[in-house]
Amino acid sequence: MTASAVVDQLHLGDHVCWVDDDETGSLHAAGRFVASGLRLGHKVVWFTDGVSPAAVRAHLDGAGVPTEAALAGGQLRIAPAVEGYAAGGRFTPDEVIGNLTTEILRARREDRAGVRVVGDMGWAIRQGVSVADLVRYEAEVNRLFLDGEAAAMCLYDRRLFPAEYLLPATAAHPATVGRNAGRAWAPMLRAYRTREPHGLRLVGEVDQSNRGAFAAMLEHVAGPGTNQRTAVLDVSELRFADVGAASALARVRRNAPSEVRLVGCRPALTRLLDLVDGTDPGPPA
């Protein structure tokens, strides 16, 4: 499956980790992601690190993307990654998430169809960002995609990131992919915020590879800061969940300030939840 075919599976609401060991592959994938967004009327921001902004623009121009008009009209922004993630000289996850939230609100006011963000994350290694801060950011930023107004592709070069960074960072994304993905590839997990009732609709699969993202999204809709509202988790389209996912569900139900209800629970997940609830030393959910 080509990188183009993989990227074409992405849409608003997706937060995907692209792992590669070649700047050319990442540049091609991100370029396709950006070009598709511009065609669809999205506002696009590309924070580049391993490749200069001028080289990024040259690549897009070479692919037939009308960058001059997009840049002039404010639809496209290409900037060094440190400007987006550590503008004050220090990476503060909450500040970056706040800035991205502002981008989404601004795009809404401008009647843009959505926002796409490319983030080349190599800067984090050069800036000495801790594993904990990087993973916390990648997990918590998932909440910005639940309303289907934004999508992001985070580029991770496995030549730069040791395993102790890369594994938890990828698990903080709902889906991870690279250019060697198989033909059947699609984002492993998608989550959609629901308003009536308040909660989440979960689609896909959860295992060790995306458990951090799953837990963060559950916490966002049913955690202590959710104003005591009952949360409904629609898991009818959750095709697979491992024991770790069941533990995350049991934990959020146990610790939530109000009721957490699961709807559409398949027999296998029900059995896992019974097992987890039966062996967990905490109070019953």
39-85 pLDDT per residue, tens: 999 999 999 999 999 999 999 999 999 999 999 999 999 999 999 99
Q: Is the pLDDT of residue 280 over 90?
A: no
pLDDT value of residue 285: 33
Query: Which residue type, as a one-letter code, is found at position 220?
Result: H
d(CA 50, CA 240): 36
pLDDT value of residue 181: 81
pLDDT value of residue 283: 42
d(CA 91, CA 88): 8
- 152 near 118, Cβ under 8 Å? yes
Closest CA to 174 of 183, 164, 186, 157: 186
* Segment holding 191, helix H or strand E: strand 189-194
Q: Is the pLDDT of residue 250 over 80?
A: yes
Closest CA to 86 of 150, 115, 129: 129
Q: Is the pLDDT of residue 247 over 70?
A: yes
d(CA 217, CA 206): 12
Q: Which residues contact 109 (CB under 8 A, 6 or more apart)?
A: none
Q: Is the pLDDT of residue 1 over 70?
A: no
Q: Is the pLDDT of residue 278 over 80?
A: no
Q: What is the mean pLDDT of the chain?
A: 93
- 37 near 71, Cβ under 8 Å? no
* β-sheet bridge partners, residue 196: none
pLDDT value of residue 57: 98
pLDDT value of residue 7: 87
Structure confidence at residue 284 as a pLDDT band (50, 70, 90): very low
Listed range (1-5, 96-100, 186-190) with the worst mean pLDDT: 1-5
221-244 pLDDT per residue, tens: 998 777 767 999 999 999 999 999
pLDDT value of residue 185: 87
Structure confidence at residue 277 as a pLDDT band (50, 70, 90): confident
Query: Which residue type, as a one-letter code, is found at position 191?
Result: A
Task: State the CB neighbour count (10 A cutoff) for residue 228.
Answer: 9
Share of the chain above pLDDT 70, in %: 96
Q: Among the residues of the chain, which ranges form H helices? A: 3-7, 23-39, 53-62, 67-72, 81-85, 93-109, 123-126, 131-140, 163-171, 211-222, 243-255, 267-279
Better pLDDT: 105 or 279: 105
Q: Is the pLDDT of residue 160 over 60?
A: yes
d(CA 229, CA 179): 42
- 240 near 272, Cβ under 8 Å? no
Most confident of 73-82, 84-93, 183-192, 215-224: 73-82
d(CA 126, CA 4): 29
111-134 pLDDT per residue, tens: 999 999 999 999 999 999 999 999
pLDDT value of residue 175: 97
> 162-190 as b/e, with b when 16 or more CB fall inside 10 Å?
eeebbbbbbbbbbbbbbbebeeeeebbbb
Predicted TM-score (pTM) of this structure: 0.93
